[in-house]
Amino acid sequence: MSPGMAAVLGMALLLVVLAARLPIGFSLTLVGFLGYGIVGGWGAALGMLGIEPYSQVTEYLLSAVPMFLLMGHFAHHTGISEEIYRTAYRWLGFLPRGLALATVAGCAGFAAASGSSVATAAVMGTVSLPQMARYNYHPRLATGCVAADGTLGILIPPSITLVLFGIITDTPIGELLIAGLIPGIMLACIFMLTIYVMAHRNPALGPRAEPFSCGERFGALWGVWGILVLFVLVMGGIYGGIFTPTEAAAVGAVGAFTLAALKRKFTFGVLRTSIMDTGRTTAMIFITIVGAVIFSYFLAITQVPTRLSEFLAGLPVSKYVIISGVIALYIPLGMFIEVIGVMLLTLPVLFPVAVNMGFDLVWFGVVVVIMMELGLITPPVGMNVSVISGIAKDVPLYEILRGILPFFLGMLLLVAILIVFPQIALFLPNTMR
């Protein structure tokens, strides 16, 4: 069997086992091992299977993943998310559709503490949806807003997905995290503008909430000073070269622990739950990484990524047309595979294309992460849609999807802006180089 045919059959088999609902980490491992054995020999395949799992999970840079996760779980289980939303509500609630605007701000703030989109959607949905229901917000706006706003967790640093992108592609993680800051803020602003436009066209989507005095607004800031200091400490340390991303993750976890203790919200139960949740998520991520590495070895031995890269680079069209097509692949993939799986499945093939075409790899990482955000709100598997549907059980799924559509278009707008003006993402990282 030729290597090219083996690659095609391997891809087909992977789709079959994924459709059978075998976890993606095990699916990638199974197909990668069988394919490598057929093309490169079973002795080599067994040797790879014996070495790679251990060598991958003992990678020092990967220790940033559980530390950032632990930081987010500490923030969640000690009630910091409620304080962030309460502060945003007091500052923005009096505006037209102010609760929805406060949800955007709250999601952005919690994203800076958690690094997870699904966690952001789940936590902020639990906090904000009852408030919007109380003020008679239309379920379409309320649920669509929270589901879309949750995607900020995958872009605003610290982002677990950007960390994994850096590890898989050997791109500087610190530069990736800093590069996500301005696009993340821009996306939050685009979401706010989307809410304004929706409300202008249909004022019945949501009323104003009650106003708050200046004293109440500034008083609410006391509840979020700690998370602001923690964010500045972690990201400022990375930007200034004081911490490596791994060290910054550890500082963030210790800082969140200290903050919870100072607020007298830390208990043994919080510690146990946070560690258990972190362990489960870390195990899932690590298993998926091992599978992706084994699968990428299989693809590498078939030389398909190299040939595809050379073929696309030789096409008589603009490289921006090609990269736009490559990026667009993430939308249908996101309909069926969760975000980390999409990244680990596609990067071994698509990353060499970006390298061969001379694109800045930090910029490519930010754009790819935004496209994977789209997968989080794209049916049928969109994780954020599933989370919000589980919280708002009385809202039909089609209403949630209708509410998401304007935000989906807003995210595509941000991608288009970054393609035309890549320096938006590269300005801060360039100052670090």
- In the chain, % of residues over pLDDT 90: 10
CA distance 302 to 294: 13
Predicted confidence at residue 7, as pLDDT, reads 83
Mean pLDDT of 373-377: 79
Residue 81 and residue 106 in contact, taking contact as beta carbons nearer than 8 Å: yes
More confident residue, 375 or 238: 238
3-state SS track over the chain: CCHHHHHHHHHHHHHHHHHCCCCHHHHHHHHHHHHHHHHHCHHHHHHHHHHHHHHHHCCHHHHHHHHHHHHHHHHHHCCHHHHHHHHHHHHHCCCCCHHHHHHHHHHHHHHHHHCCHHHHHHHHHHHHHHHHHHCCCCHHHHHHHHHHHHHHHHCCCCCHHHHHHHHHHCCCHHHHHHHCHHHHHHHHHHHHHHHHHHHHHCHHHCCCCCCCCHHHHHHHHHHCHHHHHHHHHHHHHHHCCCCCHHHHHHHHHHHHHHHHHHCCCCCHHHHHHHHHHHHHHHHHHHHHHHHHHHHHHHHHHHCHHHHHHHHHHCCCCCHHHHHHHHHHCHHHHHCCCCHHHHHHHHHHHHHHHHHHCCCCHHHHHHHHHHHHHHHHCCCCCCHHHHHHHHHCCCCCHHHHHHHHHHHHHHHHHHHHHHHHCCHHHHHHHHHHC
CA distance 172 to 369: 15
Mean pLDDT of 416-429: 92
Is the confidence at residue 411, as pLDDT, over 80?
yes
Is the confidence at residue 230, as pLDDT, over 70?
yes
Per residue in 164-192, pLDDT (tens digit) is 888 888 899 899 999 999 999 999 999 98
Is the confidence at residue 422, as pLDDT, over 90?
yes
CA distance 418 to 35: 37
Per residue in 246-303, pLDDT (tens digit) is 898 899 888 888 888 887 777 888 888 888 888 888 888 788 788 878 888 888 888 8
Mean pLDDT of 337-358: 78
More confident residue, 115 or 156: 156
Predicted confidence at residue 421, as pLDDT, reads 93
CA distance 348 to 96: 46
* Mean pLDDT, the chain, integer: 82
Predicted confidence at residue 339, as pLDDT, reads 72
Range of weakest confidence among 2-11, 102-111, 211-220, 262-271: 211-220
Predicted confidence at residue 115, as pLDDT, reads 62
Predicted confidence at residue 116, as pLDDT, reads 66
Predicted confidence at residue 208, as pLDDT, reads 65
pTM: 0.80
Predicted confidence at residue 413, as pLDDT, reads 92
Q: Where are the domains of the chain?
A: 1-58+287-301, 59-266+303-432
Predicted confidence at residue 239, as pLDDT, reads 86
Residue 13, both tokens: 């088999």
More confident residue, 6 or 75: 6
CA distance 57 to 62: 7
Highest mean pLDDT among 116-120, 288-292, 378-382: 288-292
Range of weakest confidence among 36-45, 201-210, 299-308, 398-407: 201-210
Predicted confidence at residue 433, as pLDDT, reads 62
Predicted confidence at residue 136, as pLDDT, reads 81
Predicted confidence at residue 53, as pLDDT, reads 85
Highest mean pLDDT among 147-156, 179-188, 339-348, 393-402: 179-188
Predicted confidence at residue 414, as pLDDT, reads 93
